[in-house]
Structure 1
Amino acid sequence: MSYATLPKAELHMHIEGSFEPELMFNIAERNGIALPYDSVEALKAKYDFNNLQDFLDIYYQGCAVLLNEQDFYDLAWAYLLKAKEDHIVHTEIFFDPQSHTDRGITFDTVINGFYRAFKDGEAQLGITFRIIACFLRHLPEQAGFDIYPDILRHKDKIIGVGLDSSEVGHPPEKYQRLFQQAKKDGFKIVAHAGEEGPAEYIWQAIDLLEVDRIDHGNRCLDDEKLVQTIVDKGLALTVCPLSNLKLCVVDELKNHPIKAMLAKDLKATINSDDPAYFGGYINDNFRQLKQAVGLSDTEVKQLIINSFEASFLSKQEIDKHLKNVNDQAD
């Protein structure tokens, strides 16, 4: 059984974080924007991060070259081609609308470019999708309320809302009213919690935001009661191993807690987070993690099964994918 060729779902991937340097330079040239780097190599040399904020600084620089609907289409299409190579058959991607609207780009330009690409990916590549709009947590809650009408207006394209950006110092409780409104309007709720922030942030995501899924969640292992609560509620963790390594959440990949998560019956999944910046797409994460911690075939299969069970697909669609996984894994 090979993780590489098994069908899989990806549930934690920031589409802006799949912006490869070569494409960034191409779009910048097309739009007449000068990047502060002499070459692709000079840009890649900056991808040595000590923490989340170091990464975010360069991430937002990359966003700045995206101006037109075709730019957003091209970014999404490039990810879809990578996803096809890795046998992803379903993806649930994040995008950061405020990273673009705060630069004067209209919300419609952003969502229409992304949505058109994913519809083409569904038709031409056989990859189904869901889109989740994330609020930037380093901004005040009111900024989320300001952009929320646009998200609601495109509810036919956007299935859920999330919370990302700088975690420490920005606990989920700051955004409780915003997420209550989104839940009332029928959006799925996810939130980054327990990556760099403490286990308490995960408690807040569960109790105050009423999340349907926890993004990252590594620090739940600091609190056995929290682990049991997550298991009892059937909440999944969207774990991102190479991101954890690159951002120093773990010091070495061999110390990644994925096996401990599985041993505690946590519904962990493997994802690529920001693959252009963190050194790999989903199969790269599986490959390096498998080598580092010695994942068994049974554990690999469970992680892939979890990815579908934790998705926002219908039960009928999930069952179809699980049958395919079981058929190919035998």
Structure 2
Amino acid sequence: MTVLEHLIADMPKAELHLHIEGSLEPELMFALAQRNKVTIPFASVEDVRAAYSFSRLQDFLDIYYAGADVLRTEEDFRDLALAYFDRAAADNVVHAEIFFDPQAHTDRGIPFSVVAEGLLAGMKDAEAKHGLTSRLILCFLRHLDEDAAFATLAAAEPWLDRIEGVGLDSSEMGHPPAKFANVFARAGEMGLRRVAHAGEEGPPAYVHEALDLLKVDRLDHGNRSLEDQALVTRLARESMTLTVCPLSNLKLCVIDDMRAHPIPTMLRQGLRATINSDDPAYFGGYVNDNYRALATAGLVDADDLILLARNSFLGSFLDDAAVATHLAALDAAAHHYQPSR
């Protein structure tokens, strides 16, 4: 292992952009299909992996929703969550704030309670097993209408003491953040944190809407913000966290080469960028794979890696005491890689 690879492995870190349904590995997909007697459109694990070739976000979403159909019971959602947390713990992730898409399940007849209770059980198991803390973020599917989002928020009410916030994901183009301004306002009134995918495929205008209309506490992706210098200045001034996903960007053709990834520009311009895995089962890697991809491409040095990990805690929804504890552990781990300090 190189020095940077050792640093990546040793650093404690948080993950802030992870779709739990997107961590469904082909092996688990097949096991759940067999357990639940669900027919899936693939003959083997190899067939599934061969299908993971995408030219745009929608290509990915089509297979993502097909895979989610094997999730039927609380046990399934618990197993899905714990499988992710096992992988995350191996990458020295000590805190994760995970997205889930209840509409992808309730629209096919799975009760909200099954989804929520299963995921919460997996989160509890992960904390007992690994000491890994986590938070749950309910995402609205933006290709559906706002009435459906309001219905989902209403269905979530019995669990809102255990749900940290709301988010916005799925097909970005043609579905601007403004479409969900009212439901986000209601979520804010209910004390929920607010995050949204914006500026992945959509234009900088979508980022402005996420900030001004949805009042987001954190911005998911945000790559195309760099096309608007005034927006970049604002994001830096407001210390707005961006949850950036390098391997996802490459797999979905947001960039055509990892060496062209905008992370160095983001850091240079003072943006609070973080590194995350997005949908790791589909995009070829968990969080450390994303850090390593940047290092292998020559885009980051040790100081950059430590800053990215630091940003992951600063951008989390943990309280100040927990953040301080994690930052102290990060400083201790990083000390050996910064001999000049």
d(CA) in 2 for partners of 1:214, 1:153 = 27
d(CA) in 1 for partners of 2:312, 2:226 = 20
Following TM superposition, by how much is the alpha carbon of 1:103 offset from its aligned partner in structure 2, in angstroms? 0.5
Partner of 1:285: 290
Equivalent of 1:269 in 246, 266, 274: 274
3-state secondary structure, aligned to 1:2: helix
CA deviations on 1:228-272 (whole Å, 9 max, x unpaired) are 111121110000000000000001000000000000000000000
d(CA) in 1 for partners of 2:121, 2:60 = 28
3-state secondary structure, aligned to 1:293: coil
Partner of 1:79: 84
Alignment of 1:177-216 (within 5 A): 177-216=182-221
1:242 aligns with 2:247: yes
Partner of 1:94: 99
Partner of 1:39: 44
CA deviations on 1:122-168 (whole Å, 9 max, x unpaired) are 11211000100000000011110111112222111100000000000
3-state secondary structure, aligned to 1:250: coil
Following TM superposition, by how much is the alpha carbon of 1:294 offset from its aligned partner in structure 2, in angstroms? 3.1
d(CA) in 1 for partners of 2:120, 2:209 = 31
3-state secondary structure, aligned to 2:137: strand
Amino acid paired to 1:227: V
The answer on whether the counterparts of 2:294 and 2:300 sit within 8 Å (CA) in structure 1 is yes
Partner of 1:231: 236
Aligned-residue CA RMSD (Å): 0.7
1:123 aligns with 2:124: no
Amino acid paired to 1:70: E
The answer on whether the counterparts of 2:263 and 2:299 sit within 8 Å (CA) in structure 1 is no
> 4+ residue runs of structure 1 moved beyond 3 angstroms?
none
1:14 aligns with 2:19: yes
Alignment of 1:162-173 (within 5 A): 162-173=167-178
d(CA) in 1 for partners of 2:169, 2:29 = 22
Equivalent of 2:8 in 3, 12, 18: 3
CA deviations on 1:287-310 (whole Å, 9 max, x unpaired) are 111111331100000000000000
Partner of 1:256: 261
The answer on whether the counterparts of 1:253 and 1:293 sit within 8 Å (CA) in structure 2 is no
CA deviations on 1:1-43 (whole Å, 9 max, x unpaired) are 6111210000000000000000000000000011111100011
Partner of 1:327: 332
d(CA) in 2 for partners of 1:219, 1:69 = 38
d(CA) in 1 for partners of 2:128, 2:104 = 29
Amino acid paired to 1:89: V
Amino acid paired to 1:19: L
Following TM superposition, by how much is the alpha carbon of 1:102 offset from its aligned partner in structure 2, in angstroms? 0.3
The answer on whether the counterparts of 1:255 and 1:293 sit within 8 Å (CA) in structure 2 is no
Q: Which runs of 5+ in 2 are unaligned?
A: 1-5, 336-341
Amino acid paired to 2:134: F
1:135 aligns with 2:140: yes
Count of matched residue pairs: 330
Amino acid paired to 1:313: L
Amino acid paired to 1:264: Q
Amino acid paired to 1:73: R
TM-score (norm 1): 0.99
Amino acid paired to 1:139: L
Q: Which runs of 5+ in 1 are unaligned?
A: none
d(CA) in 2 for partners of 1:328, 1:32 = 46
Amino acid paired to 1:95: F
Partner of 2:338: none
The answer on whether the counterparts of 1:256 and 1:293 sit within 8 Å (CA) in structure 2 is no
d(CA) in 1 for partners of 2:275, 2:173 = 23
d(CA) in 1 for partners of 2:63, 2:224 = 25
d(CA) in 1 for partners of 2:252, 2:298 = 18
Moved more, 173-182 or 285-294: 285-294
Equivalent of 1:113 in 88, 94, 118: 118
d(CA) in 2 for partners of 1:327, 1:162 = 33
d(CA) in 2 for partners of 1:124, 1:98 = 29
CA deviations on 1:197-226 (whole Å, 9 max, x unpaired) are 000000000000000000000000000100
